[in-house]
Amino acid sequence: MWTTFLLKLGGALLSIFATANIADWFFSGSKWAHKYYAAFPEIWRPLGEHAGSGEEGRVIRSAIFLGFEFAFAFVLFYLFFQPGVVFSSPLTRGLAVGLILWLLIPVPLLLTQHLFIKYHKVSTLGHLATWYVKLTAASLIMAFMF
């Protein structure tokens, strides 16, 4: 009983962590996204003259750690609050929880930031898409594992 639970928990954590990092890289860290960040270079923190500098590596490692923190917090949320109990299918429950959390947290936050900080519109859309993918994927993983 406990072994199965711990294996599911570890699998959920690793799956959510991997999905979140892939979504972050695709929507924010890949080559196509960087040209939109260059539209307003004055808002970005200078990390060094060369890619791969010590400061840049520290910032990237910190961002990856935050991806694990997201996975851990999401698993706790799903286990303790059991959202979406009214849905009988894991698919509909996972999709509903992901959408609701996306509308509650990152959409207002990112759109408010976009109003006050000079982000390119495509960067904001990329961040919104990243969070939608992360929350929906995490919801689906938890819905099918538990």
Q: Model confidence over 90-112: pLDDT tens digits?
A: 898 889 889 989 998 999 889 98
Mean pLDDT of the chain: 84
First-last CA distance in the chain: 13
141 has a pLDDT exceeding 90: yes
Give the whole-angstrom CA distance, residue 129 versus residue 107.
Answer: 10
pTM, whole model, 2 decimals?
A: 0.75
Pairwise pLDDT comparison (135 vs 62), residue with the higher score:
135
Instruction: State the total domains in the chain.
Output: 1
Q: Quick one: pLDDT at residue 29?
A: 77
Structural domain boundaries, residue 113: 2-145
18 has a pLDDT exceeding 70: yes
